[in-house]
Amino acid sequence: MPEGPEIRRARDRLAAAIEGRTVQRVDLLLPALKSWNGKFDGCKVESIRSRGKAMLTRFSNGLSIYSHNQLYGRWLVTDAGQLPHTRRQLRLAIHCEHHSALLYSASDIEVWPTEQLDQHPFLQKLGPDVLEPSTSSALIRERLREKRFIGRSLGALLTDQSFVAGLGNYLRCEILHCAGQHPVRRPRDLPDDELKQLAQQILALPRQSYHSGGVTNDLQRAARLMDQAGSFEAARFHVFRRAGLPCYRCGTAIVQIRQGGQGCYLCPTCQPQY
């Protein structure tokens, strides 16, 4: 499932291809949205932004398209009008002069007047975006101490988009590991120095992942592992999907537990429960 860094990289590809460009045609293919077809022809793509895991495409006709990739959605950029051979369902196509932006498989797509977009229920609930430069670790530390968050387990809290926006399961596992925290611990169990360390990792790892194309492991180690094994997937994480393999820090076998409905990977030595 794409998380904040993956959505933002998709945003960058879309923006490079169609931001500022004139729309030749927008195809909204979900039945509930068909009445909007034709309303975008000839206007400009003013901006494309990602917020958490949502994409906001703003047009010069005063309308915006909100889309959320959820589990299966996937954006592709092609030469104008070219549709790839795929069994996926095309749900949204923005055809511009040189390129087309195509969204496959997503079902959460809506058209909103741009001036009302900040009232969108999903966007209203979102906490600060971990990839926004204005989000500071001091702000995250304050939120960890707020009454509504301080008693929640860290494993559940980190993927709650109202706490911070943009984290999914791989980032949750990697952040907890790098901060030395077990997922059942709560912010109120952590002394100040551990809260500070956790807040720093909550921002550092998604930002590294965004800039490195998905690597949360130590970058030098990941480069070495890729040279040796040649597998990006085997090199990119500290603990995620590494159950049974040795922790890079202490050698203990990584385990997987169920937490918040998803598999959480951790090192039982580096991340003690108490």
Pick between residue 113 and residue 272 the one whose CB is nearest to Zn ion: 272
Pick between residue 100 and residue 271 the one whose CB is nearest to Zn ion: 271
Q: CB of residue 251 vs Zn ion: minimum separation in angstroms?
A: 7
Pick between residue 18 and residue 254 the one whose CB is nearest to Zn ion: 254
**Would you give the end-to-end CA distance of the chain in angstroms?**
31
Pick between residue 9 and residue 182 the one whose CB is nearest to Zn ion: 182
Q: CB of residue 102 vs Zn ion: minimum separation in angstroms?
A: 42
Q: CB of residue 237 vs Zn ion: minimum separation in angstroms?
A: 14
Pick between residue 199 and residue 267 the one whose CB is nearest to Zn ion: 267
Asked if 179 and 201 touch (Cβ cutoff 8 Å), the reply is yes
Q: CB of residue 178 vs Zn ion: minimum separation in angstroms?
A: 11
**Binding residues for Zn ion (CB under 5 A):** 247, 249-250, 252, 267, 269-270
Closest-by-Cβ residue to Zn ion is 247
Q: CB of residue 196 vs Zn ion: minimum separation in angstroms?
A: 21
